[in-house]
Structure 1
Amino acid sequence: MTNNHNNTNGRVHGKVALVTGGAKGIGRASARLLAAQGAHVLISDLDVAAGEALAAEIGPAATFIRHDASSESDWRDVMVHLREHHGRLDILLNNAGILLHANIEDATLQDWHKVMRVNADSVFIGCREGIALMKQTGGSIINLSSIAALAGRDDYVAYSASKGAVAALSRSVAALCRRRKYRIRCNTLHPDGVLTDMTRGSFPQGLDPTRMTIDSDPMNRMCLPEDVAASVLFLASDESRAINGVELRIDSGQMIMSI
């Protein structure tokens, strides 16, 4: 697939986007869609091979940079790259994250710190650095949270807490940017289940995860990365210019079900 980077009719035409954890899953689908809709996308990830392959696939509308999203020094390098090559940042998708299966009785403090560092610290640093570059021209920050931030998941205690931190942080960022008149919006996306390489590993051996998607049964909860990317595009575009500080659930209606 090659995207048309000269798409002058695209919904994010001329915008510069940074997608962390952009080499796979939701990040990959979002990078493809943003580029197809006219943005230049900087894909950041620790997986150099996958990131470079995706940038090559997309074409001139994308570049790749190696990036540990939990590292302050790596964030500084990414910001230097954006300033030198684009002079601006319009869209920041804080997508990098990990999943760790453990409940409150089984999880170690090391587990907790690892998940928090990748899932929450990275968003804190990203928002801080992103605002510094965005505040002159405005922009949209989109943070990947989870339905686990809103509902109780006994089997993913550190993950749930990290995503709750992302949601609370995002509300604070949205409020500050509005109060200071930066024209920067900050919203969170809360998927319930997304069929990615990361989530495939959580399924019991022998179970085909594609049978758990809404494509096979509307009562199922899992969607595809492209479903989340569609919401990323909306929040990244000027169509959502009045939407700030919201928590958008992408859960196929799971949260409203009482049985």
Structure 2
Amino acid sequence: MGKLDGKVAVVTGAAQGMGEAHARRLVAEGARVVLTDVNVERGEAIAAELGSNAVFMRHDVASLTEWTAVVGRTEEAFGSITVLVNNAGIIGPITDTVSMSEDDYLAVIAVNQNSQFYGMKAVIPSMIAAGGGSIVNISSTAGMKVAIGSPNLAYVGSKYASRGMTKFVAVEYGPKGIRVNSIHPGFIMTPMMAAATDETGGGIADVVPLRRIGDPDEVSRLVTFLASDESSYISGMEHVIDGALTAS
């Protein structure tokens, strides 16, 4: 038996990096999963590889209308949603606040912050119908501690917003059996991190007390725990996974 047998999940940003790892892990643990992303070719290939318990949908997470479509397709394919992993995110330009354009700021907020609001808004009625569920919002260590070298104001602001929205909804919908937690990864070796830092691990790993960069599946194991009934009394909390980076 898997830890997520009987669960129905939506994972955003599932065509690469941590989102792909989350989707793979959730299916392996018995969940039926709808993977969403704007990368159709890669997303469809992953879903096909995962088999009948996985379906892919093209999805702009910054559109509430498209969120409504995702919920409808998920319920049609698998039934009421019991797990939401709000994983999709972007970094935006590495720039100072004065130099950041309004368009760049709003683009980061739309994907990192607004999408998590839309996701929770769209999915919660399905979870209530199911008798409860678990929402996992992927934030960042940038939502726990501002560090010199953080990419930009919008990125940090959106990650702090994810943390606050998580707590609010956990309190608001706890009586309906819905748990909400945020995960705050540090340096994880994903295509996004590689593109943003032009690093393969050496220089960055030197500042991490564990002296290495994390693997996406290490975060996925935490996602699985929070999605499962093993974490049945854990809600409204931040879960940092960073090799002791923020502790140092």
Measured against the shorter chain, the TM-score band is over 0.9
Choose the corresponding residue for 2:116, options 123, 139, 147.
123
Residue aligning to 2:5:
13
User: Shift of the alpha carbon at 1:177?
Assistant: 0.8
- Read off the aligned partner of 2:136 and give its amino acid letter: I
Residue aligning to 2:234:
243
Secondary structure of 1:194's match? Answer: coil
Residues in 1 aligned to 2:232 and 2:10: alpha-carbon distance in whole angstroms: 19
Residues in 2 aligned to 1:244 and 1:147: alpha-carbon distance in whole angstroms: 19
- Read off the aligned partner of 1:199 and give its amino acid letter: M
Residues in 2 aligned to 1:18 and 1:213: alpha-carbon distance in whole angstroms: 32
User: Shift of the alpha carbon at 1:110?
Assistant: 1.4
Secondary structure of 1:254's match? Answer: coil
Residues in 1 aligned to 2:76 and 2:151: alpha-carbon distance in whole angstroms: 44
Q: Against the structure 1 CA distance between its residues 212 and 89, is the aligned structure 2 distance closer, same or farther, given a 3 Å change threshold?
A: farther
| Alpha-carbon contact 1:17-1:90 (below 8 Å) kept | yes
Choose the corresponding residue for 1:194, options 188, 203, 228.
188
Q: What do residues 48-106 of structure 1 show as CA deviations (whole Å, max 9, x unaligned)?
A: 00100100111112110111011011011111112222220011000011012222132
| Alpha-carbon contact 2:209-2:244 (below 8 Å) kept | no
Q: Does 1:93 align with 2:89?
A: no
| Alpha-carbon contact 1:212-1:222 (below 8 Å) kept | no
Q: What do residues 132-187 of structure 1 show as CA deviations (whole Å, max 9, x unaligned)?
A: 11012211000000000111144322111011111101100000012xx2100000
Q: Any stretches of 5+ residues in structure 1 without a counterpart?
A: 1-8
Secondary structure of 1:53's match? Answer: helix
Q: How does 1:83-232 map to 2 (within 5 A)?
A: 83-100=75-92, 101-136=94-129, 137-153=131-147, 154-178=150-174, 181-204=175-198, 207=199, 209-211=200-202, 219-220=210-211, 222-232=213-223
Residues in 1 aligned to 2:19 and 2:204: alpha-carbon distance in whole angstroms: 19
- Read off the aligned partner of 2:89 and give its amino acid letter: G
Residue aligning to 1:40:
32
- Read off the aligned partner of 2:165 and give its amino acid letter: L
Residues in 1 aligned to 2:231 and 2:85: alpha-carbon distance in whole angstroms: 15
- TM-score normalised by L of structure 2: 0.93
| Alpha-carbon contact 1:10-1:38 (below 8 Å) kept | yes
| Alpha-carbon contact 1:102-1:158 (below 8 Å) kept | no
User: Shift of the alpha carbon at 1:218?
Assistant: 5.2
Choose the corresponding residue for 2:244, options 233, 253, 256.
253
User: Shift of the alpha carbon at 1:203?
Assistant: 2.0
User: Shift of the alpha carbon at 1:45?
Assistant: 0.6
Secondary structure of 1:93's match? Answer: strand
Secondary structure of 1:135's match? Answer: helix
Q: Against the structure 1 CA distance between its residues 238 and 214, is the aligned structure 2 distance closer, same or farther, given a 3 Å change threshold?
A: farther
Residue aligning to 1:76:
68
Secondary structure of 2:180's match? Answer: strand
| Alpha-carbon contact 1:214-1:223 (below 8 Å) kept | no
Percent of residue pairs bearing the same amino acid type: 38
Secondary structure of 1:116's match? Answer: helix
Residues in 2 aligned to 1:151 and 1:210: alpha-carbon distance in whole angstroms: 21
Q: What do residues 169-222 of structure 1 show as CA deviations (whole Å, max 9, x unaligned)?
A: 1100000012xx210000000001111111101224xx5x1435769x854362
Q: Against the structure 1 CA distance between its residues 213 and 223, is the aligned structure 2 distance closer, same or farther, given a 3 Å change threshold?
A: farther
Residues in 2 aligned to 1:86 and 1:210: alpha-carbon distance in whole angstroms: 39
Residue aligning to 2:59:
67
> Alignment RMSD, CA only?
1.6
Number of matched residues?
Answer: 243
Q: Any stretches of 5+ residues in structure 2 without a counterpart?
A: none
